[in-house]
Each structure stands twice: as C-alpha cells, then as structure tokens.
C-alpha cells in the first residue's frame, strides 16, 4: 500500500496486475508499504577550515540504496532556500566558500525519486 498526501486527504494506491492465460485470468494484487525514508542524522563539521574557504561535512548514513542531496545557503533554511547538489557522497568537502560569510547546510537521502526529511541544519562561519 502506498499513501499519497493530497492536501489533508490521504489516498491509498494499490497496483493490480492481470495475467491472461489460455484458460483463465489470474489477478495478482501487489501493494507495497508506505514509502518513508529516515533523514540522515547528525550532520557535523569535521576538521578545520584549511584557509581555502572550505568545510568538510559528514553524517550518519541511512541504510539502503540511494544517494544524498546537499543544500547550501547563506541564510537559515538551507533546504527551502539553498542551492541543491545531487549525488553527494559521505563525507563531502564544500569548497570555494566566501571568507567572512556564514553558511548553512542540510543533507537529505534520496531513494527511487523519494526524498527524506532534512538532517539537522548545520551552520559554519568561514574565517579569513
């Protein structure tokens, strides 16, 4: 079974497969569980700024196939307002950051086109 949220209403979807044979029709019903992916936990900064305007980030991996998105913003709310980087590996080094600027980071897990909720938001001020 898969639930899709439409406003405040949830619709239940099931997929039904009909197989034709010479003598009869066989109906097979296949319903999967709700699609929900746990967000990556504990986004953290590792090491020090190397003086090159970069930061290295790591997080607790979410089991299963899929990839990660990284959101980077100069204001709080990186998931909603930030630039999205796809197919990010853990850990990731973000370079070319402006000195004297505070950045905000969020990571999400993506599996089969479904994106998890966000990790905690981490901020980092780039010293010169």
pTM of the model: 0.69
Nearest Cα residue to 97 out of 57, 68, 43: 57
| Residue-wise pLDDT tens digits, 9-41 | 333 333 333 343 444 444 444 444 445 788 888
Confirm if 40 and 32 have CB atoms less than 8 A apart: no
Q: CA–CA separation, 73 vs 27, rounded Å?
A: 50
Given the structure tokens 């898969």, which residue do they identify? 2
Q: Quick one: pLDDT at residue 64?
A: 86
Token reading at 70: 């990284």
Token reading at 81: 């307002």
Q: Quick one: pLDDT at residue 2?
A: 41
Q: CA–CA separation, 105 vs 102, rounded Å?
A: 10
Q: Quick one: pLDDT at residue 47?
A: 64
All structural domains of the chain, each given as residue ranges with its CATH number in brackets, are: 1-35 (no CATH), 41-126 (2.60.40.10)
Using CA atoms, how far residue 60 sits from 43, 80, 108, in Å, is 7, 22, 11
Q: Quick one: pLDDT at residue 11?
A: 35
- Which of the residues in the chain have pLDDT under 70? 1-35, 47-52, 128
């Amino acid at each position: 079974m898969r639930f899709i949220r439409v406003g405040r209403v949830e619709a239940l979807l099931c997929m039904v497969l009909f197989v034709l044979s010479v003598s009869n029709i066989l109906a097979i019903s296949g319903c999967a569980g709700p699609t929900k992916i746990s967000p990556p936990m504990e986004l953290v900064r590792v090491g020090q700024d190397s003086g090159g305007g970069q930061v290295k980030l790591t997080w607790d991996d979410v089991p299963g196939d899929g990839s990660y998105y990284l959101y980077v913003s100069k204001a709080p709310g990186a998931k909603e307002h930030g630039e999205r980087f796809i197919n990010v590996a853990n850990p990731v080094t973000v370079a070319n950051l402006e000195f004297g600027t505070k950045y905000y980071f969020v990571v999400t897990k993506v599996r089969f086109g479904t994106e998890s909720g966000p990790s905690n938001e981490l901020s980092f001020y780039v010293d010169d």
